[in-house]
Structure 1
C-alpha cells in the first residue's frame, strides 16, 4: 500500500480500546495521526478506533502500537483515490448540542429556526461539531449560558473556529481563536464570514503572542486540543483568564482526566463539571 491513503480500524473491549487510543495519542511517531474512538456495540462491549495516518511511517507506527493490544482486531483498508474527507463530510448529519445546531453546506435547508445555527466547513481543519470533544464543549457552553454571559472568549487550538463562532453568535463582544496551523486559521476566518459574525482568528504559537494577549484577560477560554498540551498550557491558560474565569477543556480521553485535572487544580482551578461522550471527556473549571 506504499503511499496510498489508508484507514486503520481496530475493534475490541472498551478498556483495551481506550488504552490503545491513549498510546497512539502519546507516541511521538503518531501524534499527528487523526483518530476517533467510539462505542460500536454496547451489548457486546465493542469499541472502535478509526485512525487516518498521513504517511507510511505514521501508518507503520500506528499498526505497531495496535499490535501491542492482542484483544483488538485491527485491519488496514485502502481509501479510494478521491476527496475522501469531502465525501465523509457530505454524509455527516447535522449535530445538535444544546441551543447549537452545527451543519455543513449539504444540510443548509435543515437548520431549525429555534436554534443558534452554525454553518461549519472543515476543509483540512478539525472541528465540524461531530467529534465528541467538540460536542462536549458546545454542550458545556450552552449550559453555562443559562446563568451568565461571557464578554471576552478565547479559543485555543481553534481548528474550524466553531467554538469561538458559537461564542460570537451568542453575544460575546470579543471572540478570538488561535491555532499553530495556518490553514486552520484561514478556514476558521472563512467560517466566521459564512456565519456573519465578528469572531477573529490568528496564527500564533502560544498564548503569550501579542495578538492573543491584546484582547485579554478573558472571561472564558476554550481549549479543545490534546492532553499533553493541555497540561503544558495550564499556567498560560490561568494567566489568560480573569480571576473567576471559566476554562472549558477537551480533547482528552476519560483515562487522562486525572492527569489534566491535577495540573489545573495545582494552579488554583476548581472543577465545576465534567461531561463524557463516548471515550472523550470535557472538563469545566473555574479559576480562583
Structure 2
C-alpha cells in the first residue's frame, strides 16, 4: 500500500454494529484495526473508522461494510506519526479507583487513586477504549468484596489490566499476548509502574509460565468474541473453583453468543457492564 488510508462508515447504530460483527467474523480481517463509536447522539449517527495496512485488507473492509447501507468514504492519511499525535491529545481516564494516564499527563495523577502510567506504543489498551474501561470498572467493583492472589491477563496488550492487579495486591500476575511487540510494551509499562507482573509471548494458555501459576483466582480476557468462545474451556481449566473471569472485547450484539458459550462450559453470570457499543461480562466458574 503506497498511501495510508482511513475508511469511514456512518449510519444508524444497528447497521454499524452489524457491520462491526461482519468485520470480526471475517477471517481475512482478523488483524484489522478499526473502532466503532457514537458520532452524533442527537441524529443517531454511529461511525466506524478502519485503517487498512494493505490493498487486500482495504478491499476486504470495503466488502464487509458494503451490505449494511452505511455511507462509506475513504480518505488518504498524510505521512505522520498518527499514534503519537493521537496519544498526545488523549485525556487521562478514571475508572473506579484507577487513574490511567500517559507521559503527557504525569502531573495530573491524583494522590487518592491507583495511578497507572500506560504508554501504548504499538499495543492496544491505553485505558480509553470502552472494553478496557469496562474491565477496570468490573475489577474495581470486585475489589470491594475480595482480593485476588493469582491473576492471568489473556491478550494483555499494554499490560494495563495485569498491572492494575499487581498494583492492588495480587501476588502472582501473568499476562500473555500473541503479539511480541505488545509483550515488550507490557513489560516496559510494568517497569514504569513498579508492578510485579510477568508478560510472555503465547497463543492460548499452554505456556509454562501460565501453567506454573495456575489455578487462578481471576482471569482477564479482553480480546475478541471468537477467541473468547474458543477459550471458554481453557479459561475454565485455568480458574480455581469459584474463580472469576472478566470477559470483554465484544460488542453488545455478540454478548448472548459469548455468554451462552460460557454458561454451557460450567460458569454462571455474575454481572455485566455496557459502555458505548461494548459489553463486559463477569462470569464465575462453578
SS at match of 2:213: coil
User: Is the contact between residue 174 and residue 209 of structure 2 (CA under 8 Å) also seen in structure 1?
Assistant: no
Cα distance between partner residues in 2 of 1:131 and 1:4 = 27
| Equivalent residue number for residue 35 of structure 2 | 36
Deviation digits for residues 159-202 of structure 1 (CA, Å, limit 9, x no counterpart): 00000000000000111101111111000000000001101101
| Equivalent residue number for residue 73 of structure 2 | 75
Deviation digits for residues 14-49 of structure 1 (CA, Å, limit 9, x no counterpart): 000000011011111111111111111122111111
- Structure 2 runs not aligned, ≥5 long: none
Instruction: Show the 5 A alignment for 1:274-285.
Output: 274-285=272-283
Shift of 1:68: 1.5
Matched, 1:243 2:251: no
| TM norm structure 2 | 0.98
Shift of 1:83: 1.0
Deviation digits for residues 229-266 of structure 1 (CA, Å, limit 9, x no counterpart): 00000000000000000000000011111111011001
SS at match of 2:68: coil
| Equivalent residue number for residue 154 of structure 1 | 152
* Structure 1 outlier segments of 4+, above 2 Å: none
| TM norm structure 1 | 0.98
Instruction: Show the 5 A alignment for 1:189-204.
Output: 189-204=187-202
Cα distance between partner residues in 1 of 2:194 and 2:148 = 19
Cα distance between partner residues in 2 of 1:114 and 1:12 = 41
- The number of residue pairs the alignment matches comes to 286
Cα distance between partner residues in 1 of 2:5 and 2:129 = 20
SS at match of 2:164: helix
Shift of 1:4: 1.3
Shift of 1:3: 2.4
Shift of 1:54: 1.6
- Structure 1 runs not aligned, ≥5 long: none
Matched, 1:23 2:22: yes
